[in-house]
Structure formats: structure tokens, C-alpha cells
Structure 1
Amino acid sequence: MSESLFFEQQDGSRIAYKIYEPYKSDTTDEIPLVMIIGLWSTKEILMGLEKELAKDRKVIVLDNRGIGESTVASETDPCSIELMAQDIIALIKHLAITKFNLLGWSMGGQIALCVALNIPPTLKLEKLIVCASWVHVSNASFDNLYHLPKWDYPKSLQEQRKEITVLFEKNFIDYLLKKPETFDKLTEVLFNSRRPFEMFKRQWEAIKQSNFASKLHMIKVPTLIIHGEIDKLVSIQEGELLANEIPDAIFVRIPKVGHM
């Protein structure tokens, strides 16, 4: 099992990451894949996808600043999509990687787009994958949650399980009910993760303030856009917009799938 590693950014933020080395050496892709998770999520939310992809390539996952095992120097530190993208670039430089592939889900997709738009000449992004993400928020999907004065975290796994059935999309709950082992694992992941409510608020603010629509044509790397057709949090029209604006993009629609 991969252990968490850490590096410190110039502003004092401490970024936690894990590296999964390929274990099928006969088919190894020499270019590593960096995976970025979404809003109010930790790297454990990948639920084993990172290990599956690490069969034939190096996979790197991380906690965005201030959440999970990553920290910020001060609670008043700024938080923006651009700053989280800088953390990704700094991590890649820290690992002495020169070529990489990038996958971002939800807010992580926005961060990945920002990385692609600000890649320094010393690095080469080979391929970009953006899942269930958007350019600019056009709805208030998390505003009610954002305006709560505080968040009462579940005090037991049973309470956490109940919270999942309230917060997540119906089609995802239906899937979890058919996959009890997956439901149990997700419950444990969320219950044991450090997810400060203040960081959720600041991440949501960062998402709402970002807007790359006018710059998408500048992304020149081969890009795969993946989006569920019944995503209630990020409309599939957002995925279509990304695919239309990025010159070398392929758009994949997944029927009967939502945000998760």
C-alpha cells in the first residue's frame, strides 16, 4: 500500500500525495498520470481507481491544499483554482517529472484546465482528461450548503451512511444499494476523511470565481471530455462546451450516469 508523502509549497502549505508504481512491467506506459479530485473530497474518494490505473503506469494522487492530509499555513490563506493548479505544477516539478498526463474530476477538472493553460516551458502535458467538470458555474448547486453556519459531521458510520443517501444523486444511491461493499467503503472513506467545512466554502468560492471560457482555445494537447448524461450538479452542456471550445477534444457521453 502506498504511503502518503509530503512537500511544502513556498507559501507554507503542505501538500500530501501518493505514488502508485506500475506493476505490469511488460506493458508500462512511461508517462505518469496525475489525478486531481473534486470539491470537498480527498484522494481516498478515488476508491481504488488509482490502483487499477497503476497496473501499467505510474499514478500520482494528491489532496488539494487545506483538505485531507494537506494543510495551509494559515486559515486566512487564499484559495483559488489558479493556486491549486500551481500546487499541481509544483508537485510535478518536485518529483522531477518532465512529461505527464493529467486527469481531473469535477473541481479537479477545472484545476486540470488551469494547469493546461499555465504549463511552464520546462514541462510537457501529453494528454488531458476532464471528467464531469465545467468552465464556469451557471447554477447554484451548492449555495444552500454554502450558506449554512456550520456543518454537523456524522458521529458514526451509520449516520455517515444516512448522510450519503441524503446528499448524493438518486442514481448513484441506487448503484450503491446494488453494491453494498462499495457503499461500505465509501461510508468509511467519508467518515474518516478530514474535510473542513471552511475549506468546502473556500473551494466553492474558488469554483464560482473561475472562468476559462475565453481561453479554452489555447489548450493544444489532446483532450478527452467525459460526462454523465444525467449529471445534476454539472450539466452535460458544460461538457459539450468544453469539447466545442478545446481544439483537439473528444467528447464521451455516458448514459444513465450522474456526477459520481
Structure 2
Amino acid sequence: MPTFTHDGLDFAYLDEGEGEPILLIHGFASTKEINWVGPGWVSTLTGAGRRVIALDNRGHGASSKLYDAAAYDPDIMAGDALALLDHLELRRVDVMGYSMGGRIASCLALRAPERVRSLILGGIGIHLVEGAGLPVTVAEALLAPSLEEVTDPMGRTFRAFAEQTGSDRRALAACIYGSRRTLSREEVGRIRVPTLIAVGTRDDVAGSPHPLVALVPGARALDIPGRDHMRAVGDKVFKEAVLAFLAEPH
């Protein structure tokens, strides 16, 4: 597994396929494998003639772990993604982020619009502006002595997922507290790259994509039918829409 060093941290990443590059940024408590390899995104995109790059965010997967909440601001994590592009000497890429990865991708598009050909936000709608990410009860669940002591339903889901994947629960709890910053309406109004915003119709985490589309100039919405936050990521309708979007002459 290739790695690079940035900000004193080691980051694991994958780089597969040939063609126009696309950078994938995973969601909270996930990894490049769980978010992108397992659901078939890497095979779908490389099969469509794309070069796929994906990293493990700080605190996740095989990348370095930190326990200071301030280190997980989405803009800081956008800097990690930019450092990977610099490491690979890529000047301009398509960018797709899911859930927390969508927050990071949005910060990347604001921070370095010249590096972003197009932006795909999955699993994040108006809560990018009006919500503060996952509730702190998830962090509390991650730090609880055992799963049996967690009563919050969403907290139990993420605690069980973290245990299943062998994640560093302390690092994830710090990430919950640190990545809760929203973007303002003025900030999302400055996203000037072609943008697709895709959310499952049963997603109770992301917020609707349509109010966010109204704030981002030229953005469009995709309702992923019948999917909740966890199941929308690998949906066939989502993949087909992304491939069509990427094929457009942005």
C-alpha cells in the first residue's frame, strides 16, 4: 500500500487505473476500502477509463491517528487531500466525497478551485450548511466502556461498525468533535465548479440535497431512491449518474 507524509503524518492511499484522475474522499469511520473498494466504486470508475485515487483520512484506516479534536477540521483534512495531489503531481482532478468526505471535498473546492474539475457530494445535503455533522452522542458511544452500555441507536450503529472494522475509537471520537464545522451560505455560494449533490431518499443524516443545490451556483441534485445513509453509497443509480456527470465536458 503506497503512503506519503504530510503535516508530520503518514497517509495511506490507493492509485489505480489510467485516464483522467478522480480523487475519492471517504466518510466518517470508513476507509478507502470500505467506502470505495467494497461498494464497487474503484472497479466501476477504472472500468470506465478513469484513474482513481483515494486516501485514508487522518484518524482512519492505515493513516496516522490523532486525538486532538482541533486536528480534524474539514479544511485541515482538505489540506491532506491537496497534499496527496501534490505528491502525485496532479494539477486538476474530479473530486467525490461521501458524508464527512463531502464536507472535506467542499472545503477543497473552496480552498483550491483551480485544482477541481468537478465536484460530487454524496451523502451530504443541506446539513453541510445547517447541520454540524454527526451528533456528539456518537462520540460518547465510541468512548463508552462497551457496546452494551450504549443506548443511542445511531451511537450503537457507529460503535458496532468501529468495532467490526478495528478502528481507533479514540481517534474517531476526536474526529466527531473536530469535524463538526459547517459552511456558511456565503461559502457554499462561492463553489463555482460543476457540482452534483446525491442523497438517498431515506437518508436521515445528510439533509435534503435540494436546498443545498439552491445555494450552489449551477449545482444539480440526485435523489437516490429508497436508500438510507449507509446503503446509498454503492447504489447503481448513484453510480450511473456519476459516470454520466463525469462524461460531460466540464
TM-score (norm 1): 0.74
Q: How do 1:167-246 residues align onto structure 2 when only pairs under 5 Å count?
A: 167=157, 191=164, 193-236=165-208, 239-246=209-216
Matching residue of 1:18: 14
State whether residues 38 and 105 of structure 1, in contact with CA within 8 Å, keep that contact through their aligned partners in structure 2: yes
**Structure 1 residues 223, 140: closer, same or farther in 2, change over 3 A?**
closer
2:76 corresponding residue in structure 1? 83
Secondary structure of the equivalent of 2:85?
helix
Structure 1 residue aligned with 2:123: 132
Deviation at 1:139, TM superposition (A): 7.2
- Matches of 2:147 and 2:134 in 1, distance apart? 20
| Paired AA for residue 4 in structure 2 | F
Cα displacement string for residues 165-185 of structure 1 (whole angstroms, at most 9, x for unaligned residues): x628xxxxxxxxxxxxxxxxx
Instruction: Name the structure 2 match of 1:33.
Output: 22
User: Which residue number in structure 2 is paired with residue 59 of structure 1?
Assistant: 52
Cα pair 1:20 1:51 within 8 Å, conserved: no
Query: Which has the higher mean CA deviation after the structures are superposed, 39-48 or 194-203?
Result: 194-203
- In structure 2, the residue matched to 1:110 is 103
Letter in 2 for 1:233: V
Task: Pick closer, same or farther for the CA change 1:59–1:151 going to 2, 3 Å.
Answer: farther
- Per the alignment, residue 8 of structure 1 pairs with 5
* Residue pair 2:133, 2:179 contacting (<8 A) in 1 also: no
Correspondence for 2:144 among 123, 144, 150: 150
**Percent pairwise identity:** 28
Gaps of 5+ in 2: 231-250
Pick aligned residue for 1:68 from 45, 61, 64: 61
Give me the whole-angstrom Cα distance separating, in 1, the residues matched to 2:171 and 2:12.
16
1:42 aligns with 2:31: yes
Structure 1 counterpart of 2:238: none
CA distance in 2, matches of 1:128, 1:67: 23
* 1:28-48 alpha-carbon deviations (Å, 9 max, x no partner): xx4201001001111111213
Alpha carbons of structure 1 residues 32 and 233: separation in structure 2 relative to 1, 3 Å: same
CA distance in structure 1 between the partners assigned to 2:214 and 2:196 by the alignment: 12
Q: For residue 141 of structure 1, report the CA deviation from its aligned partner.
A: 5.0
1-structure distance, mates of 2:196, 2:219: 6
In 2 relative to 1, CA 146–127 (structure 1 residues): closer, same or farther, beyond 3 Å?
same
Cα shift at 1:138: 3.0
Which protein shows a greater Rg? Answer: 1
Unaligned segments of structure 1, at least 5 residues: 23-29, 155-162, 169-186
- Give the match's secondary structure for 1:111: helix
TM-score (norm 2): 0.77
Are the equivalent residues in 1 in contact too, given 2:71–2:178 (CA < 8 A)?
no
1:67 is paired with a residue whose SS is: coil
The count of corresponding residues between Structure 1 and Structure 2 is: 215
Tell me how far 1:152 sits from its aligned partner: 4.1
